[in-house]
Amino acid sequence: MEIELKLALDPSANDTLRQHPLLAAHADGDAHDAQLLARYFDTADFYLRRHGAGLRVRKIDGVWVQTMKAGGSVQAGLHSRHEWEGPVARAWPQLGKLKKLIDGDGDWAALLDAPGLAERLQAQFAVRVERRTWQLHVDDADIEMVLDVGAVEHNGAADPINEIELELKSGQPRALYDFALRLLDDLPLRLENSNKAERGYALCSQSGTRIHKAAELTLDRDGSVADAMLAIFHNCLAQIQGNEAGVIHSDNAESVHQMRVGVRRLRSALKLFEASAPCPPELLADIAWLGDALGALHAADAVVQRLGHERGRGRRAIAAAGAGLRARQHQAQAPQAAQARRPAARRRRPRPAPPAHRGQAEPLCAGILSVAIPAQARASLSGSVDGIAG
């Protein structure tokens, strides 16, 4: 089982990380640099992905290595997955060799027995990165830390990668978080719940970011209060972090709404378990800040939606008023057109005065604009704009 903590790092801080004193203090030897190109394979209908697995072939130190990862879980940036890997002769998977590695795990071995799977495999996307690796000994844990800088690539499109991976080689998972928190004192980091394979599949399907609502939660009737507390906290965090990409990278108001709901649920849960597990004031302050920020975004989204709605109503009203104006103009011009069709002898009479409304073109246009949007809507829009300006 592979256990690693993924952290997104702002690219502007890469040099700061490379020279960070924590690495010098805990590194076992010099850092190692490598250029990595990995190709990810699946069928046209994404058979492996649909069954919770990923398959890649990557060249490492001149040797092609195939790796399959499957199952496991992701919680608060901590990725735990089954992993099997071994050398292959070329840049293409060899399922026979892979099945021998997985032989002890029947369910995953059976996955590779699908009829014609080897023939249906094709390269779906690639991951190209420059990797720097450090071997660290931190307290009682051994950690492999890497900085990956590059991109996921598919058909000319690319999704940039700039992330840290902390893989636990020995010790307890808590050591990964402790070390990450120490880095956070000096570096702009955030937890990363998506792995490279997931980002590659998103690029292939052009699915963009997804909306994550709260998952159904069932508590064990015989479980302890601590078990229930952890299950509820994890459920809230999954909803918050599941919508993080949508809040950062898209303009989907639902992502903001769902993350805001997750934060509100988390604050309620913290209050519920306050006597048993009081939350540090600094963390409560951060959660409150996030809730306020999301609340402001949610309010702004509501204003934008209302503006769009009122603008649509205004356009329809203006179109209707314009049609009415053209009808009145046609009606006023009808007598002149009829007279123009009469014989010349019968037209030798004084021309009638122009209709009175023609000299009032500008006031009439202004009147159309004034009635196109009802007074109540104008007041609403005015208040919205004032609110944005304020």
The model's pLDDT over 235-249, given as tens digits with 9 standing for 90+, comes to 999 899 889 888 887
DSSP state of 54: E
Say which residue, 151 or 108, is predicted with more confidence. 151
Query: Looking at residue 60, what is its pLDDT?
Result: 84
User: Is residue 384's pLDDT more than 60?
Assistant: no
User: Is residue 330's pLDDT more than 80?
Assistant: no
Output phi, psi for 205, to 5 deg.
-90, -5
Helix (H) or strand (E) run with residue 371 in it: helix 361-372
pLDDT confidence band for 350 (50 / 70 / 90)? very low
Q: Tell me what the mean pLDDT of segment 253-275 comes to.
A: 94
**Whole-number Å distance between alpha carbons of 211 and 198:** 15
Helical pair 253-272 and 225-242, crossing angle rounded to 10 deg: 160
Beta bridge partners of 35: 130
Domain 1-208: state its class: mainly beta
Helix (H) or strand (E) run with residue 369 in it: helix 361-372
**Whole-number Å distance between alpha carbons of 297 and 64:** 48
Parallel, antiparallel or unpaired: strands 122-138 and 78-87 = unpaired
Query: Taking a C-beta distance cutoff of 8 angstroms, is the pair 134, 145 a contact?
Result: yes
Percent of the chain with pLDDT over 90: 61
User: ∠ CA 148-142-172 to the nearest 5 degrees?
Assistant: 105
Query: Looking at residue 300, what is its pLDDT?
Result: 87
**Whole-number Å distance between alpha carbons of 314 and 223:** 58
Say which residue, 388 or 183, is predicted with more confidence. 183
Lowest mean pLDDT among 34-48, 177-191, 281-295, 314-328: 314-328
Query: Looking at residue 301, what is its pLDDT?
Result: 81
Q: Tell me what the mean pLDDT of segment 195-202 comes to.
A: 92
Helix (H) or strand (E) run with residue 385 in it: helix 375-389
**Whole-number Å distance between alpha carbons of 384 and 316:** 21
Measured on CA atoms in the order 171, 174, 179, 180, is the torsion positive or negative? positive
The answer for 201, left when phi > 0, alpha when psi is -120 to 50, beta otherwise, is alpha
